[in-house]
Amino acid sequence: MNRREYIVATGVGLAGVVAGCSGQSDPERGGDGATDDTTESTATATTESTDSAYAVSMEPVGEVSFESVPEVWVANNGSWADMGVALGLDPPEGVWLPSRYHTQYYDEIPGVSVDGSSIRELWGDSGVGKEQFYEMDADVHVMDPNFLTSRGSWDQSDIDEIESRIAPFFGNSIFSTGYEWHDYTYYSLYEAFEKLSQAFRRTDRFDAFQALHEEFQTTLEDVVPDSASERPEVAIVWAGSDEPTSFSPYLIEDGTSFKQWRDLRVHDAFAETGVRDFHSDRSEVDFETLLDIDPEYLLLRGHENKAQAEFEDTVVRSLEADSTGRELTAVQNGNVYRGGSLYQGPITNLVLTDRATSQVYGVDRDLFDRQRVADIVAGDL
């Protein structure tokens, strides 16, 4: 057996391999999320023990055994890629859409950087090609195989081929809970992060990040008002152009892409309306609908590669120029911001939550220790 050969335990199959949302043009504007349920892993070792076979369990792939610690790896999206960076790994060879893996967030962390241009884009005009998996020759594919079969035009025989000839799949779609085919456990950000740390045998770094995250949550308790009436109402939408005229609504749910907004306990402006979530039916809203709802804060996704000043000079200026858009309370009060990326790992979540506290609560101080993050990534625990 070579180091890519593995065993998938019997009794846990690839559940829910059925068609999900239709359409192939944009595979990652849909969802996956989090519950408190967790599947216990059989791996407990840390970086000090790396020379013997071990196994880690994750739904929907079941128990996966590794002959040795993976080195070359592929990730589904920026959530998993960021977890790998947090563990001190080299970046993944490829992700579905590198443009959605916003490596500029690492600019806030001293000594941590990732060249996003070096990461292969797995998604193409015809979906996800198998040939590139042979070219990358990874030791593990950190992605939900059901995402490939429902969104990437693969079938089960394709999954079986890549697993038998190259390496196992090890992942769960966690960024939102919107896919009908995802009828198995969702993992929270830190549940998924722990699974990955076990697969790469770097649980010491996970433990350090978890402790830092708990301290951060305590800090947020002092920021978020206890009274619900003092917490703002926000509308999160996707606005794909610099001059948007329609918007894809995102209702705040349990997925990891909404973690900062749940932690800040904001009110979802869409929650008590008839607006349907984009994840469930690819819905859109126009300026008139937004004006009827008139949220205090308007948070626009799709512009994370812009600095706030550029965002204001392009997108916000176009809202101000629209005869209906300029009537929105959020526009009039200067409360239009970038809404955060779809994919968050432990580092990007800290950065985005810190930014969000400034956006909606006016906090003007750092809420977590950037140098501590850098130290953990470097293994200085």
pLDDT of residue 15: 33
- Report the share of the chain in percent with pLDDT over 90: 79
* pLDDT-wise least confident of 84-98, 169-183, 330-344: 169-183
Residue 31 pLDDT > 90: no
How far is it, in rounded angstroms, from Cα 232 to Cα 290?
16
How far is it, in rounded angstroms, from Cα 56 to Cα 38?
12
Q: Map out the domains of the chain with their CATH numbers.
A: 228-374 (3.40.50.1980)
The answer to whether the peptide bond before residue 60 is cis (omega within 30 degrees of 0) is: yes
pLDDT confidence band for 34 (50 / 70 / 90):
very low
Mean pLDDT across the stretch 59-77? 97
Mean pLDDT across the stretch 37-56? 56
pLDDT of residue 35: 35
Closest-CA residue to 70 (of 50, 86, 85, 88)? 50
Helices 370-377 and 78-86: crossing angle in degrees, nearest 10, is 80
| Contact yes or no for 107/308 (Cβ under 8 A) | no
At a CB cut-off of 8 Å and minimum separation 6, what does 37 contact?
Answer: 185, 186
Residue 11 pLDDT > 50: no
Kindly report whether the global pTM for this prediction surpasses the value 0.85: yes
Residue 47 pLDDT > 50: no
Mean pLDDT across the stretch 315-335? 98
pLDDT tens digit string along 107-123?
999 999 999 999 999 99
pLDDT confidence band for 235 (50 / 70 / 90):
very high
Mean pLDDT across the stretch 232-247? 95
Q: Give DSSP secondary structure letters for 232-276.
A: PEEEEEE--SSS-SEEEEE---SSGGGHHHHHTT-EETTTTSSPP
pLDDT of residue 10: 30
Helices 203-221 and 346-361: crossing angle in degrees, nearest 10, is 10
